[in-house]
Amino acid sequence: MDAQDGAPAADPILRAGAGAVVDGDRAFVRRAMRLPLLSPEQEVTLAQAWRDHQDQTALHKLVAPHMRLVISTAVRFRHYGLPVSDLIQEGNLGLMQAAARFEPAREVRFSTYASWWIRAAIQDFVLRNWSIVRTGTTAAHKSLFFNLRRLRARIERGGQDVLTPEGRRMLARQLNVSESDVAHMEGRLAAGDRSLNAVIGVDGDSDWQDLLVDDRPDPEALSMARHDSRLKKRWLGEALADLPERERRILQARFFSDHTITLERIGAHMGISKERVRQLEHQALTRLRRRLGDIPGLQPN
């Protein structure tokens, strides 16, 4: 059955979610539900007029009767804690996308085609706004997010709210995800977001954020680290200055330049062999370690 053919059945769903629809939207919902459905021939005529001539009147006549499809789909997602009016707005965007891409020559009812776009738009909105933590980054994870509750109730036969290990394995196989993904999503859906500004206890003397541990170094440690860095840099400069010029140039090229220069290139530049450069480098490092080792409290690497 086409989505449009079953649209009148949306009334019980709307009644079930009536508490989530604010008073300002009720008149809009009633008007949308009273609009007559289109025949297949009318759909084709209106879709062609919009596609070929950008007829705004035809577009309005095409999408208006399908507002009931948007509303019924939006109400089905009301359990995620988002305003139904916002879900309807997102569904409207999906409906307009469907109208822009609909090809009447394919002989598919517009309601059937639009239902996919409407549901996709609402699902994307739910995933973006259900939590401040991003949820459902892949198609499999999105399917897990939207089907976990339903499949959990079917697998556990409504007996408990937490999946058993066997139930978790069954659900992971059905949705082609790992068991750890199922466990993680189950915890995310059960916990929700919590504010760090929420008070602790009855008296409310402190917030949750007061219990967070700051792992960053304190200002005193930062100041000491900067002081030590400047001191070590000065000592290193003095130790390098005491080296013979050729050894100092080799160490600077090998360890203190933006791009490390090979022994072969240094040898070619200085007119000596690569092996001789290696010997001078080793000799210079030995001198440098000895010089820095004479400084009390400094352990050179």
Higher pLDDT, 130 or 58: 58
Mean pLDDT of 144-158: 68
Chain-centroid distance, C-alpha 174 = 24
Mean pLDDT of 54-60: 90
Q: What 3-state class would DSSP assign to 199? A: strand
Given a contact cutoff of 8 angstroms between Cβ atoms, the answer to whether 200 and 162 are in contact is: no
Query: Nearest 5 degrees, angle CA 288-CA 294-CA 300?
Result: 50
Mean pLDDT of 163-192: 75
Using pLDDT thresholds of 50, 70 and 90, give the confidence band for residue 94: very high
Given a contact cutoff of 8 angstroms between Cβ atoms, the answer to whether 256 and 292 are in contact is: no
Q: What 3-state class would DSSP assign to 102? A: coil
Instruction: Assess whether pLDDT exceeds 90 at residue 117.
Output: yes
How much is the pLDDT for 46?
Answer: 92
Mean pLDDT in the chain? 79
Higher pLDDT, 5 or 277: 277
Instruction: Assess whether pLDDT exceeds 60 at residue 10.
Output: no
